[in-house]
Structure formats: structure tokens, C-alpha cells
């Protein structure tokens, strides 16, 4: 009866998944899309002793997994699919209707209930809400009326607030109003990165021109500014609550080869962590880790920053590609 039901909902794709789903041994830090091998994999083990697991999905054009979840979004052959059961014996996939354009990037709400697809060059974003039970795509939102270049986007933890940043004549940070235009939050020359506080009451914006972070109170109670002495080339920012219930800001400097941790309440530097490589990003990864340099080439490692076992950057060794036996593919269905 189950087989008949699966046949009713769709076909098994042999192209996307390599024939018997591998079991994952050891703790999974997070799942990641590996661009050089066009595959979705788990990073297994603790930082400092982690490695890539076997390919869970192959021949993938683009993918992103919800934070601390085993489901995500995959683009295969131009189609947008919701995939679930990552790390299990059977990965299921169903198409998400209404997604007609492939994004350049994707950000997730902290609770994994919403994802926002975006294209900086196309100047648009599109949100998908209702994960994991019933993801539904919203209408595509055009950012071009704001002028300038589309630089950054962020979504709050429950997926209710979306903010974007642009440069140009009207440079600054804007709140999206449910597809009905934008409200200006703060003006700044080069807002290259955004991050909501854990409670969604403050939006932090990194201005690469002024080399400072501005915390914007979304209830209209003003601004908080953080200077960044010793950093000349900031490239990313993230906000996180730590184990001591402190709201921390993580700021990474590219050519500075430095990651700085700031205490929001005291505005003091908690720690500066020198890096022996040039970071290119600061994207959420595991529960307390960030990707700071992705794998652009097959011989490159994945660099992640983690506060455990010690606050430091750790590398995941490059994938050694071997001929793979084919494994059963994704079970396709329909929402």
C-alpha cells in the first residue's frame, strides 16, 4: 500500500541521490551545500575533528538547509524542491509551487519556519513560509524601486520581519511591508550585512563605509552605535545569545583576518580572534558556529568559526572524491 502511494505521488529520481542511503555516524554539526561537488552533505564531528559525510544529494544546482533541522530547499534541473529526512534512510522531496526563479542566496528564520530566497543582481526576494508542514511561496518582491545596489537581507527568528539594505542615492536599511513597499529604518552609505537580535526587537546593520555597526530599535526607541577600532575591512555580522544569556555581536574583518565578539549591553569587546586565512563571510551554521569561508574550489577546505571546544576557526578538510555506487534517489511527491 505504501509503495502504491509513493508511485501515485511521483517518481524516484536516480539523478539527484547517490543507491543506498548512507548512515551518518557521529554528531552532525550541520548540513551544507558543497558547491565544488554540487552535493548536499553533513559535516560530522566536533569542530577541530570534523569531516564531510557522504553525498546525501548529488547533481544539485543550489541548496540550503534550515538551521538545526534536517530539511531544506534544493534546486535541481531548474525546479525548487522541499527536501526532508536528511540523514535518514529515505530522503523525500516535493516541489514548491510558485518559485520560478533560481536565487543567488537564501536566508532562514532562526526557527526554520521560513526561508527567504534572493537575488542581488536581479534585485528581488521571495519568502517561503510554513516549514516543515506545508511550505507556501509568497509573491516575489521587487527591490529595484529603492535604487542603487541590493546589498543585504535578513529575516527575524519567527520569519515575520524582513529587512533589506541598499546603497546609492537612497542608501540605507529598509523594512519590507508584507509586499506593500518599504519603510526606511536608517540611512547609511554601505550597509553590507544585517542581523536581527534574538528577540527581533533590534536590527543590527554593518556599514562598511563608516566601519561601524548600528543597532536599530524597531519599536522606534532610537539607535545604538558600535565602533570597530582595529577593523578596516568588515565583511559580515551576526547576532547571537550565548550560554550566559548575553546578546553578542560577531563581526568579521576580511583582509583584517580577525573575528571580533562584542557584548551588546556593555558595548565592550569580549574577544578578538586572529585568523590565519582571509575570511569571506559570516553565515550561521550550527548552534554556535558560522561559516567564515566556503569551499569555492575542490581542493579548498571549509572554514567554520565555533565557540567550542575553544573560540577559534576550524577547517573541515576538502572532500576526497571517489567513484560512487548509485543509491536509491529521492522519493518525489506533491504538496
Instruction: Summarize the confidence of residues 305-310 as an average pLDDT.
Output: 91
Residue 115 pLDDT exceeds 60: yes
What does the buried/exposed string (b/e) look like for 274-284 if buried means 16 or more CB atoms within 10 Å of the residue's CB?
ebeeebbebbb
Lowest mean pLDDT among 16-20, 27-31, 39-43, 146-150: 16-20
With beta carbons less than 8 A apart as the criterion, state whether 97 and 137 touch: yes
Question: At a CB cut-off of 8 Å and minimum separation 6, what does 25 contact?
Answer: 44
Instruction: Summarize the confidence of residues 84-105 as an average pLDDT.
Output: 95
What does the buried/exposed string (b/e) look like for 177-207 if buried means 16 or more CB atoms within 10 Å of the residue's CB?
eeeeebeebbebebbbbbbbbbebebbbbbb
Instruction: Summarize the confidence of residues 22-35 as an average pLDDT.
Output: 83
Mind listing the pLDDT tens digit for each residue in 226-262? 999 999 999 999 999 998 999 999 999 999 999 999 9
With beta carbons less than 8 A apart as the criterion, state whether 237 and 248 touch: no
CA distance 11 to 15: 12
Q: Supply the DSSP string of 62-129, one letter for each residue.
A: EEEE-TTSS-EEEEETTEEEEEE-TTSS--EEEE-TT--S--SEEEE-TTSSEEEEEETTTTEEEEEE
Residue 221 pLDDT exceeds 60: yes
φ, ψ for residue 9, nearest 5 deg: -80, -20
Instruction: Summarize the confidence of residues 304-327 as an average pLDDT.
Output: 80
Note the pTM of the prediction, 2 decimals: 0.89
CA distances from 293 to 77, 135, 269, 284, 309 (A): 27, 30, 23, 12, 19
With beta carbons less than 8 A apart as the criterion, state whether 264 and 247 touch: yes
φ, ψ for residue 3, nearest 5 deg: -60, -40
Mind listing the pLDDT tens digit for each residue in 123-152? 999 999 999 999 999 999 999 999 999 999
With beta carbons less than 8 A apart as the criterion, state whether 237 and 194 touch: yes
Q: Give the number of C-alpha atoms closer than 13 A to the C-alpha of residue 247, restricted to the C-beta side.
A: 16
DSSP state, 171? -
Question: What pLDDT is stored for residue 281 in this prediction?
Answer: 97
Average pLDDT, the chain: 89
Question: What pLDDT is stored for residue 89 in this prediction?
Answer: 87
Percent of the chain with pLDDT over 90: 81
Question: What pLDDT is stored for residue 24 in this prediction?
Answer: 63
Tell me if the domain spanning 2-332 has CATH number 2.120.10.30.
yes
Residue 88 pLDDT exceeds 50: yes
Q: Give the number of C-alpha atoms closer than 13 A to the C-alpha of residue 216, restricted to the C-beta side.
A: 22
Residue 225 pLDDT exceeds 80: yes
With beta carbons less than 8 A apart as the criterion, state whether 191 and 211 touch: no
Question: Which residue intervals of 97-242 are DSSP H helices?
Answer: none
Amino acid at each position: 500500500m505504501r509503495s502504491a502511494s509513493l508511485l501515485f505521488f511521483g517518481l524516484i529520481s536516480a539523478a539527484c541521490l547517490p543507491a543506498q542511503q548512507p548512515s551518518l555516524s557521529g554528531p552532525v554539526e550541520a548540513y551544507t551545500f558543497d558547491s565544488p561537488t554540487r552535493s548536499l552533505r553533513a559535516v560530522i564531528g566536533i569542530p577541530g575533528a570534523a569531516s564531510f559525510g557522504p553525498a546525501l544529494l548529488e547533481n544539485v544546482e543550489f541548496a540550503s538547509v534550515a538551521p538545526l533541522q534536517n530539511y531544506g530547499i534544493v534546486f535541481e534541473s531548474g525546479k525548487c524542491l522541499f527536501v526532508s529526512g536528511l540523514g535518514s534512510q529515505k530522503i523525500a522531496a516535493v516541489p514548491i509551487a510558485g518559485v520560478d526563479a533560481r536565487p543567488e542566496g537564501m536566508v532562514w528564520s532562526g526557527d526554520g519556519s521560513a526561508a527567504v530566497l534572493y537575488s542581488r543582481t536581479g534585485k528581488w526576494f521571495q519568502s517561503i513560509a510554513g516549514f516543515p508542514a506545508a511550505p507556501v511561496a509568497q509573491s516575489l518582491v521587487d527591490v529595484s524601486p529603492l535604487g542603487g545596489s541590493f546589498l543585504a537581507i535578513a529575516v527575524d527568528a519567527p520569519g515575520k520581519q524582513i529587512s533589506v539594505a541598499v546603497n546609492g542615492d537612497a542608501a540605507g536599511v529598509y523594512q519590507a511591508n508584507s509586499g506593500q513597499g518599504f519603510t526606511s529604518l536608517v540611512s547609511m552609505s554601505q550597509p553590507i550585512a544585517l542581523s536581527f537580535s534574538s528577540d527581533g526587537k533590534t536590527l543590527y546593520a554593518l556599514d562598511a563605509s563608516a566601519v561601524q555597526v548600528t543597532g536599530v530599535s524597531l519599536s522606534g526607541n532610537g539607535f545604538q552605535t558600535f565602533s570597530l577600532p582595529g577593523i578596516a575591512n568588515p565583511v559580515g555580522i551576526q547576532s547571537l545569545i550565548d550560554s550566559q544569556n548575553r546578546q553578542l555581536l560577531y563581526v568579521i574583518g576580511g583582509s583584517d583576518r580577525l573575528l571580533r565578539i562584542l557584548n551588546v549591553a556593555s558595548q565592550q569587546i569580549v574577544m578578538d580572534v586572529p585568523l590565519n586565512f582571509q575570511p569571506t563571510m559570516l553565515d550561521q551554521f550550527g548552534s554556535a558556529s558560522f561559516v567564515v569561508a566556503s569551499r569555492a574550489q575542490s581542493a579548498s577546505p571549509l572554514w567554520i568559526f565555533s565557540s567550542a571546544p575553544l573560540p577559534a576557526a576550524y577547517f573541515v578538510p576538502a572532500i576526497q572524491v571517489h567513484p560512487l555506487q548509485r543509491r536509491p534517489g529521492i522519493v518525489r511527491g506533491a504538496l
